[in-house]
Structure 1
């Protein structure tokens, strides 16, 4: 018999719809029920592609006796952390503070008004060494609520007070002091100390793709010519592309590597990782012309369209790590399996090229495919790869979390728009445009003022109820701006401006920083604890630096200095952590590089179907300059959405022309692509 989750739009919640646990979705009704019954709330937070979430569900939430105890003594609330990042952020802060670590599944027990008094992650069905079993934990918590209520409430109050303290202090550089070479130099020094010179990346195992840091390093090299930063970026990009963390048959990256050599991944494949990495590899190819970087960018784009695109034109959130009940079963190979598909000669050769050994690099004697060196016969390898991919397609596939998340789709729009323009792939531009249209039509509503409002998710063409958070507004605005730059369709600039108007009106604090939730859409339960405000990058850019980056671009297009000032204010908190934790401030530092570079404002004027216009436009987009902002349009067809950067820019002697401005001064307009390249160098 299905529980309340059967009506959810979240694939993760739907995975629990047949549990014997009487799950509630997050909301006022669940907490009111806990108050009515005078029992605690048991909050279980996870996501659809989470391996250990599946394990705990099978072991505990599908167990009738465990579920009966949960139903009797708690109101049980299931949360998809990807759908409700605001809920996840507040209670993960509590979990990390109370236990010293965090992760998913996250298990939190709160008072009926939402104040946590117990936090943990995964618990086994039976005691394992010093780790208590989940039934033991439940019994102890139920007893404490009944017999030691005063102590429990006191602890909950102490934790709630701690949650209300600010994440970062109010000291540190302000205004123009943020855009300073010393800020970048200190962060580079700290980053370099953690660089793995042998295997690329930063720190030891596990290793996560440092997408935002790599973007920062590429921009720094483009601005300064610093060879060391380019070397760190290239070594990391090359190692990931040749390792098991990259799908050598179909393209696309796994979530992270469990080892320091990028050999064995945690096999879930996330939209946000692949959107960010597609863009970084594209930018690396733009900077260096490296064929490996172009190949990986193109294969990752193809994988996004093949495996994550939804019927509505958006992109699904993730592919699961598991299939056939085992993590990695879809991706791993033995030498015998290669020979079965390819025959003895090609099978033996492929095992050598792809690092498949008799001992195995993964589990049960199987290996994760790698490509540590290039094959000696490209045509043979292409044929082998096609045959292996076709054979793998017959295996049971990992499940797909097909909800469409606004922020991650914004990142995908930006990456696909740029890839389509730079790689001459109209299909990628079409995909970016279709995704943008879905977000504009389904995820957006007109706000009560001059801005637009976003919902966080949709599924199967039905919008969810969770409001958009800061990263949604910032990343969708980023995607729209990239699409406008690639296509000259100024509707997207106007839409980005409306989203950023909402950010400035509803997400700000008194110091110019930014909260993660809007002032009129912050969840009432969370509002009594802590309004989320996280300046640090995780696997995606944090909301404040993401908003700052979009504000910088929009400011360059519109000439509105208040947008630059708002960007600087939003960067203050992220840059306070940059010197000590540069890996958590990559997007902020990349934005500083853009500001130190200008930004460089490039207006290309001419009919969009004129080959000369297209050549100048492509030349501008191909520049690796750290702060390049591009607009293209026809001066004879000004529209209401045309940005100020394009206005009053005539043709030169009747020919399409490019105008380059930087630091409030402009170069002489040029009709020559080579001259434009020099101006942007």
Structure 2
């Protein structure tokens, strides 16, 4: 019979609804059962696209013997980390404190009935192997410890809660006048030291894309003219795009590379990774004209619209992820046998495809399969086969079309179709920005459909909800939901002004201050003031796979504050920087989002408004200014004059003779109107394109 998960909307929880384990979702019923029965809680946190979550489920949670032990000794709670990042954040931190190493998924934590963790790990096999204890043998020992070592557990819990509290920023760093560029320079130095000069990216295997850090490096070129910073970005993006991290046939990026070379990934595709990489590739193309980057953006955006967006009848929101596994085997959907490829192609196609994709080399996946990567350039394979570049590219294109057609006949990975507000906000910004740069109105419309869906479905009674699936929107939204959504609206406003978007942005900013701001110490809590009480209320500023909510909140509030001359928003951003200043000074490269906000406070953004009656000339000015938007806010469409809520300083006013002119404001200071594009580009520090091989 189904357990307590049967009524949930999360695909991850529903994957476990028929387990013999008596799973509960996190909530009052489970927590009260633990108290009433004096049983410890077994908390299992994962997500639907997670390979090792599936492995542990098949080995243990679907096993009646293991389930019987779990049911006898524990109240078992299953959490989707994508729906409940608040719970995941707390217990990942607890795992790190208890085990002195990072966590991950599946996260397996054992709690007292009052939610305090006393033991934990990540993946446990059913029987002991590879140095890991067996789950079946571990469970009764933990249950026994809970009942026989109460005093030890209470003492450990006290120390753990103190450690978690000490990890939070304190109000001792509220002197805003002490802020300087030093952390920005320090972060840049750290990133140059961490950079892999040979293969791109930062650090060693496993290697993650780090789009937030790469965006910070791109700013170093855009603002400081560091050509090495642009090299770091272009080299990394090129290596990722040519490697197995990128889906060479269908577009889009996988989660991370298991090796240093970007060759073999973990095969899940996450919305947020692609949302952050999409504008990064587009903006880097803007500076370099590299056709590879344009190709990556085009294929990825088209894949998003085709495979990861609900149709118009369903609202147009973006889905969360594609599973790593198909037919219970990781990567099976994506890998190839050499003979299959050769049989599908003409001899001319295979002569190019084999050296291009590495099919003429030893297998790169489990010693018997090939995961496609571009091991040579088109120019190299063209020269080796003595054909021209155009013909070689055509053969590669036809190869990709044929192989993709074959792949679509396979059993595909499962798609998690829940729509998360925060991840949608990242993708809305990514699609809109890419659409702006490449003048693709279909991508911009895709973003607008998604924001309209969020506003219609997940904005209820002046508050955001975090997740939607099966016609049900629920769960109080988190800091990331508000901050990311506010940020993406500011991008949309620059591309196609809609009064509804400006109104929505103001409502979000006001609710952010009302429900999340720490009025005493500064900064923003991850959960709202009326959120469920948990053992900790995090206030984090460091970036992870996604940018920090506090960093994006500070950036967006600061920009909106200057745009609307709203001092409340500016003050909240200033206090956020102040509360985190000591932390980002010590660990600079982990705080790139906050450092971007710091940079824009020290050197206020340039807000540019264009006016005039010659639409062709206006569009030419907007296009010329696009590189400026790497480090500033451009209000390309003027606010209509009749809109009373628009700030007076930025209302659109057509000049009498229709001449194209620009008004530039830097912080609270505005320059006289400018009628020379050359002068405007100098003021906005627009660099020319650089050719990067």
Alpha carbons 2:541, 2:594 under 8 Å: kept: no
> Is 1:461–2:471 an aligned residue pair?
yes
Moved more, 186-195 or 638-647: 638-647
TM-score, normalization by structure 1: 0.94
In structure 2, the CA distance between the partners of 1:294 and 1:52, relative to structure 1 (3 Å rule), is same
> Is 1:324–2:330 an aligned residue pair?
no
Aligned counterpart, 1:627: 632
Q: Give how far 1:580 is off.
A: 4.8
Aligned counterpart, 2:389: none
Q: Give how far 1:61 is off.
A: 0.5
Aligned counterpart, 1:660: 664
Structure 2 CA distance for aligned equivalents of residues 402 and 573 of structure 1 = 37
Aligned counterpart, 1:220: 220
Aligned counterpart, 1:569: 575
> Is 1:52–2:52 an aligned residue pair?
yes
Structure 2 CA distance for aligned equivalents of residues 602 and 174 of structure 1 = 31
SS at 1:642's partner residue? coil
Moved more, 415-424 or 142-151: 142-151
Q: Find the partner of 2:444 among 416, 421, 429.
A: 429
Aligned counterpart, 1:207: 207
User: Where do 5+ consecutive residues of structure 2 fail to align?
Assistant: 383-391, 686-693
> Is 1:338–2:357 an aligned residue pair?
no
> Is 1:365–2:368 an aligned residue pair?
yes
Structure 1 CA distance for aligned equivalents of residues 345 and 11 of structure 2 = 37
Aligned counterpart, 2:423: 408
Alpha carbons 1:606, 1:634 under 8 Å: kept: no
Alpha carbons 1:632, 1:646 under 8 Å: kept: no
> Is 1:147–2:148 an aligned residue pair?
yes
Q: Give how far 1:233 is off.
A: 1.3
| 1:256-655 pair list within 5 angstroms | 256-311=256-311, 312-375=315-378, 376=382, 377-446=392-461, 452-464=462-474, 466-509=475-518, 510-521=520-531, 523-524=532-533, 526=534, 529-605=535-611, 610-633=615-638, 635=640, 637-647=641-651, 649-651=653-655, 653-655=657-659
Q: Give how far 1:643 is off.
A: 4.3
Q: Give how far 1:82 is off.
A: 0.6
SS at 1:660's partner residue? strand
Q: Give how far 1:193 is off.
A: 1.1
Structure 2 CA distance for aligned equivalents of residues 643 and 391 of structure 1 = 55
Alpha carbons 1:360, 1:366 under 8 Å: kept: yes
SS at 1:456's partner residue? strand
In structure 2, the CA distance between the partners of 1:574 and 1:244, relative to structure 1 (3 Å rule), is farther
| 1:14-29 pair list within 5 angstroms | 14-29=14-29
SS at 1:632's partner residue? coil
Aligned counterpart, 1:449: none
SS at 1:205's partner residue? coil
Aligned counterpart, 2:691: none
Alpha carbons 2:172, 2:579 under 8 Å: kept: no
Deviations 1:373-422 (A, max 9, x none): 32131111111111111111111111111111111100111111122222
In structure 2, the CA distance between the partners of 1:612 and 1:477, relative to structure 1 (3 Å rule), is same
TM-score, normalization by structure 2: 0.92
| 1:106-121 pair list within 5 angstroms | 106-121=107-122
Alpha carbons 2:171, 2:522 under 8 Å: kept: no
Structure 2 CA distance for aligned equivalents of residues 200 and 172 of structure 1 = 36
SS at 2:254's partner residue? coil
| 1:165-184 pair list within 5 angstroms | 165-171=166-172, 174-178=175-179, 180-184=180-184
Structure 2 CA distance for aligned equivalents of residues 643 and 169 of structure 1 = 35
Structure 2 CA distance for aligned equivalents of residues 39 and 508 of structure 1 = 36
SS at 1:463's partner residue? strand
Deviations 1:212-250 (A, max 9, x none): 111111112111111121111111111111111011111
In structure 2, the CA distance between the partners of 1:294 and 1:644, relative to structure 1 (3 Å rule), is farther
Structure 1 CA distance for aligned equivalents of residues 55 and 429 of structure 2 = 35
User: Where do 5+ consecutive residues of structure 1 fail to align?
Assistant: 447-451
In structure 2, the CA distance between the partners of 1:653 and 1:561, relative to structure 1 (3 Å rule), is farther
Alpha carbons 1:443, 1:454 under 8 Å: kept: yes
In structure 2, the CA distance between the partners of 1:596 and 1:291, relative to structure 1 (3 Å rule), is farther
Deviations 1:183-221 (A, max 9, x none): 211111111111111111111111111101111111121
Structure 2 CA distance for aligned equivalents of residues 386 and 322 of structure 1 = 23
SS at 1:70's partner residue? helix
Deviations 1:565-608 (A, max 9, x none): 3212223455544455444212222333444553001112357x
Give the ranges of 4+ consecutive aligned residues of structure 1 lying more than 6 Å apart after TM superposition: none
Moved more, 336-345 or 14-23: 336-345
SS at 2:453's partner residue? helix
Aligned counterpart, 1:137: 138
Alpha carbons 1:41, 1:111 under 8 Å: kept: yes
In structure 2, the CA distance between the partners of 1:4 and 1:226, relative to structure 1 (3 Å rule), is same
> Is 1:123–2:132 an aligned residue pair?
no
Structure 1 CA distance for aligned equivalents of residues 60 and 284 of structure 2 = 46
Aligned counterpart, 2:388: none
SS at 1:455's partner residue? strand
Moved more, 358-367 or 469-478: 358-367
Q: Give how far 1:634 is off.
A: 5.6
Structure 1 CA distance for aligned equivalents of residues 630 and 106 of structure 2 = 42
Q: Give how far 1:15 is off.
A: 0.6
In structure 2, the CA distance between the partners of 1:332 and 1:251, relative to structure 1 (3 Å rule), is same
SS at 1:661's partner residue? strand
Structure 2 CA distance for aligned equivalents of residues 125 and 360 of structure 1 = 31
Structure 2 CA distance for aligned equivalents of residues 462 and 620 of structure 1 = 42
SS at 2:673's partner residue? coil
In structure 2, the CA distance between the partners of 1:558 and 1:9, relative to structure 1 (3 Å rule), is same
> Is 1:31–2:40 an aligned residue pair?
no
Alpha carbons 2:282, 2:293 under 8 Å: kept: yes
Q: Give how far 1:444 is off.
A: 0.7
Structure 1 CA distance for aligned equivalents of residues 659 and 639 of structure 2 = 11
Q: Give how far 1:265 is off.
A: 0.9
Q: Give how far 1:358 is off.
A: 4.7
